[in-house]
Amino acid sequence: MARTLPQPSHRRRRSPLPAALAAGTTALALAATGLALFAGGANAAVGNLVSNGGFEGGNLNGWTCTGGASVVGTPAHSGSYALNAAPSASDTAECRQTVSVLPNTSYALAGWVQGPYTYLGVRGTGGTDPSTWSSQSSWNQLSSTFTTGAGVNSVTLYVHGWYGQGAYNADDITLTGPGGTASPSASASASPSASTSASPSASASPSASASPSASASASASPSASASPTVTPTGPVTDLPKHVVTGYWHNFDNGATVQKLSEVQSAYDIIAVSFADSVPTKAGAITFLLDPGLSTKLGGYTDAQFRADVKAKQAAGKKVILSIGGQNGAISVGDATAAAAFTDSAYAVLKDYGFDGIDVDLENGLNPEHLGNALLNLQAKIGSKFVLTMAPETIGVYSTDGAYFKLALKTKSVLTVMNTQFYNSGGMNGCDGKVYNQGTIDFITAQVCTQIQGGLRPDQVGIGVPASSKAAGGGYVAPSVVNNALSCLATGANCGSFVPPAKWPTIRGAMTWSTNWDANNGNAFSNTVGPFVHAMP
């Protein structure tokens, strides 16, 4: 989020492909082997649960495949046969198999693959579904581990390529662990949709976005069942079930200047933008009311600002301090900087009476050290600490992203993550298909990725610009925001993408900013605010 007028609210992103390739070309190492890995399955026999994982029968028995899949003799990693499958512009050539497992039990998935953009993963684990991929011309092993959730009796493993790319081969696929007793057909996750994480961007497969069927299969998905309501286990923040978040400018960038007291009443969380770094101490932050803003507002004083913070809180609002923005240079890269951040943030929050912290770092972050700093800050503040995040879309494009890792590390105290669904270009949704920014499908398919990646629905919100002036691209009308929330919560008013479940506890919406909202006639707060507050 920019502080100066000539800039859009956020820096325009580069294509996510280079980072994805860097993360994906090296397969994950197998975490452990043998019986010690499989906690919870002591009474069940441990072995390979995949049927025909080596394709040595010379057929596809046990597998359900889309697109051009067949069994070939050459090349094979071992034995006499292997899987060969050729994706098309509208199909990833996925082969999948549902197997019975035990709840609350650890498993190891592995397989040998070769070819461009080949994926191996599992769906329906009841937790974070693992997915790994590579793009190598020689045989290489992909592997991951996962633990099933309570009540999970079956999972669906899959291997697939990517839209419009070359054929891939797979062989010797294993899922090691104790077998369950449920019928494999009972799995609710045997969806033909593509992998939900670590997928190449639209730029890696230009034919995908041009395919007339790129979103048609998503709209045809018969996913009408509601997801169970999740009871939040995080801190008690006295917030409504669904909230509207808005950023307030501590500077003048051409939008309407506001005193904090003038922020529209529809906003439940007000993020004061932004804290400043302390140049002489890595990780430390400070905050001062901008003198230029004070002048613009006719002498808005620090004392008046502090009084406005208290007045907003008395009206039931949460006022938090945002760190970062497009130009924010706050770095928490080691334990010393983490301690400095925690101590200085605690001092600022206590001094001004802020309710918490918003993380809007757009110049890189260290999820380990910043995560520790935030957890320690919450421990010092207490259970009513409000923690929000506003990552750029690429930061939570997959669970491998640093921002996603930060969100998962702080999940126990995270209030809501409102991703900036703008300045993004086109990106793959949780169904693996390409959706362009500025559409309902882009928003809902990205939210799906975040929930499937491990965040609770009540920790996920929609972030959009308040007007076309507030961002370089990706603006949607407030009515589209309402439709997206309706789609995610109830399955109604969706676009071509239909989420695989209903998430009635979806947290709400965020906008950059309250100032740009005022500049646009309060269209966002007047339209989205009442809708969010009326959600059951």
Active site residues: 362
Question: In whole angstroms, how far apart are CA 177 and each of 88, 366, 459, 465?
Answer: 34, 34, 32, 47
| Integer Cα distance of 93 and 443 in angstroms | 26
| Integer Cα distance of 17 and 394 in angstroms | 10
Give residues with Cβ within 8 angstroms of 121, minimum separation 6.
109, 129, 130, 131, 132, 144, 157, 158, 195, 197
Residue ranges in 160-238 assigned as alpha helix (H) = 206-210, 216-219
Q: CB–CB of 509/245 below 8 Å?
A: yes
Q: CB–CB of 305/256 below 8 Å?
A: no
Give residues with Cβ within 8 angstroms of 462, minimum separation 6.
418, 419, 421, 443, 447, 481, 484, 485, 508, 509, 510
Query: What is the DSSP pairing of strand 416-420 with strand 386-389?
Result: parallel
Closest CA to 14 of 6, 26, 22: 22
| Integer Cα distance of 362 and 339 in angstroms | 21
Q: How many residues does the chain have?
A: 536
Closest CA to 182 of 157, 151, 159: 151
| Integer Cα distance of 161 and 84 in angstroms | 10
Write b or e for each residue in 171-193: b if 16 or more Cβ atoms lie within 10 A of its Cβ, otherwise e: bbbbbbbbbbebebeebebbbbb
SS3 81: coil
Question: In whole angstroms, how far apart are CA 415 and each of 350, 372, 453, 501?
Answer: 19, 16, 17, 22
Name the DSSP class of 329.
Answer: -
Tokens linked to 406: 């930060």
In 10 A of CB 278, how many CB atoms?
15
